[in-house]
Every structure is written in C-alpha cells, then in structure tokens.
Amino acid sequence: MTQKLLSLDDRLGLDKYEIDEQSHIKIDDTCCVNCELKPCLTVCPAEVYVWAEDKVAIRYENCLECGTCTVACEGGGEGGIDWRPPQGGFGIVFRYG
C-alpha cells in the first residue's frame, strides 16, 4: 500500500493554466529585504516565491490564486506583495475545483 509521493512540480504539472505574458504579482524589493520572517517563502502552496540573489523571485505562472500570500504578507510580513487577479480568463483553470 505505497502511494507514490508526488513532488510539488508533479502536482503543479497536473493543473491546467492559461498563462499570461505579464505577471499579476509585483514585489516591492525594499520591503522584502527588510522583512525578517518572509512568510511568503513558506506559505505559498505553489512555491511561487523563492529567495534568490537577495530578493524575492516570483514564479507567477504557478500561482493557484488562493490568496494565502497576501494574508501572510499583510499580517506576518512587510506588505511587499502586490497581488492582483490575472486578467480575465488567464491564470489557473480548475477542472474539478
């Protein structure tokens, strides 16, 4: 009874996306450098936020649009994330939901 463990990328690979050319997420680098906790690096279920070369890099195309990052950033971080919904029809397309 062993269930094959899926990596995060395996999981994201199952999902359907309509990828926009533009990122719907913007980052205020100065906020994030000063952010001690950086909760976005932990809480995002798609690991959209990655710490690279002293700043937060975003893989917006993986976003599941759950809203966790903004809640964590507002209350536990420095408010450096500006998240807007992707333009109409773009982003994640749930087939089950």
57 binding another protein? (CB under 8 A): no
68 binding another protein? (CB under 8 A): yes
CB of 93 to another protein, least distance (A): 5
Alpha helix ranges (H) inside 15-97: 29-33, 40-43, 68-76
Looking only at residues 35 through 54 of this chain, which bind another protein when binding is defined by CB under 8 A?
Answer: 37, 39, 42-47
3-state secondary structure of 92: strand
28 binding another protein? (CB under 8 A): no
CB of 14 to another protein, least distance (A): 6
Alpha helix ranges (H) inside the chain: 8-14, 29-33, 40-43, 68-76
